[in-house]
Amino acid sequence: MKTIIIAGTHSGTGKTTVSMGIMAALARRGLTVQPFKVGPDFIDPTHHTAITGRYSRNLDTYLMGADGVRASFSKAARGADVAVIEGVMGLFDGLGVGEEGSTAQVAKILGAPVVLVIDARGMSRSAGAVARGFREFDPGVKVCGVIANRTGSERHASNIRDNINDSQDIPFFGALPKATRFQIPGRHLGLHMAHEENYDISGLADMAEASINIDGTLESAADVDISNPQEDDAEPSCTVGVALDSAFCFYYYDTFDAMRSLGARLLFFSPMHDRVPDVDGIYMGGGYPELHAGALEAGPARERIKKLSGNSLPVYGECGALLYLAGSLETDREYKMCGALDSSSRMTPTLQALGYTEAAASNCIMAAGGTRIRGHEFHYSLTECASDSRFAYVMNRGKGIEDGKDGLTAHNTLASYMHTHPAAMSFDRFVAACRAYRKK
């Protein structure tokens, strides 16, 4: 599989815009493009998916390990002509001082070359030093070319190119001007989701073709082995309802694949607009319940989910779902939520938690006692729980809900601030719980 990684020197270089432009240009040329995103990101992949028509997958060595990265890459890349991987943060930035979780580590695991995006604002000759430093820092990572972003003029772009070419033999693949209309708005959890934007995909392709050497970029792509065995869906043995709308939109598609392989048939519904379908369990991801609190309060699913939870239907939720499954959510005012959990949540103006997590689990619908779970958390809210509340997770890393605990549980309902991935925590116990509920 022809594969290229688009990485930045640091966060904010514009690698998302560059990646989207390259994906759009390759797709318009008639190539089937399989997109990927390094790191625990739910938002950028939605833009990749909108451009390429193929679900973007995350490659995260902290959550998935090297084998998990290879397996996810191999499965997703089948049937594609080229894989384009958008990096995370700076090329060598990962967890702490090591390379775990970094774009560079993914590049080494896959043997894929890197196109480096440099933010050229305020620099000229220094761009050559930056390119050379990144190329020589780790011989195990092949930097195959450079793209300069936010150049001020054609002359500025020419100076950047000459200085990079003079610094060493490294291809210069182009320059994007700082005045570009392809800038996705952001908010407290990152960029807007793809379904909230009506950007011009053809215009993205035009921009990339005009500013970037697409032929050179494609020629620099390396062949990456995708010979891992294909995982097939199992015969459905239970039905899981998945909340999917503007309020609940943070999901890894690997999770959907994993549940189907375990025998779950997935039914998608909107808690804002739909009644709860006839299901044996409910899975709710994160998202933006705070932006849709009024619609969730008035929605047809809220009271039904509380009743089903009280009847021991397996319900698993992450982050935004924790707020919805609580009794109330305070934003501009206090809104009634499901009340499946004896808790209340409120939005805060400042970030409450951000980063990777690790927890030890007690027996619950998601894990056996003593299981180590890895995940990540990112939220601007606080959740207060009843004094007799039960928690399934003890945090070894990360904040959780309160006092180093996460995974608030009642009946067969479990919700946490921690997001996880099926490579970090198998969904087999959850699907088994749904199967057992079906047989009642």
**395 DSSP β-pair partners:** 359
* Spatial separation of the C-alpha atoms in residues 281 and 296, rounded to whole Å: 19
User: What's the CA dihedral at 7, 10, 12, 14 to 10 degrees?
Assistant: -30
* Spatial separation of the C-alpha atoms in residues 203 and 182, rounded to whole Å: 9
Q: What is the CA radius of gyration of the chain?
A: 23
For residue 24, which amino acid is it?
A
Instruction: Say if CB 58 and CB 252 are below 8 A apart.
Output: yes
Instruction: Say if CB 204 and CB 184 are below 8 A apart.
Output: no
385 counts as catalytic: no
With a CB cutoff of 8 Å and minimum separation 6, the contacts of 71 are 228, 423
Instruction: Say if CB 118 and CB 146 are below 8 A apart.
Output: yes
Catalytic residue, from 144, 238, 249, 319: name it. 319
Instruction: Say if CB 118 and CB 40 are below 8 A apart.
Output: no
- At which residue do the structure tokens 């009506």 appear? 198
Instruction: Say if CB 147 and CB 116 are below 8 A apart.
Output: yes
Tokens of 142: 């092949």
Going by C-alpha positions, the residue among 255, 234, 320, 265 that lies closest to residue 55 is: 255
* Spatial separation of the C-alpha atoms in residues 250 and 244, rounded to whole Å: 9
Residue 99, classified by CB atoms within 10 Å of its CB into exposed (0-12), middle (13-18) or buried (19+), is buried
Instruction: Say if CB 312 and CB 437 are below 8 A apart.
Output: yes
Cα 256 off chain centre by: 14
Transcribe 235-282 into DSSP letters: PP-EEEEEE-SSSEEE--HHHHHHHHHTTEEEEEE-TTTSPPPS-SEE
Transcribe 338-372 into DSSP letters: --SSSEEEEE-SS--EEEEEEEEEPSSSS--TT-E
Going by C-alpha positions, the residue among 295, 391, 397, 382 that lies closest to residue 345 is: 382
Tokens of 162: 């000459």
Annotated catalytic sites, by residue?
319
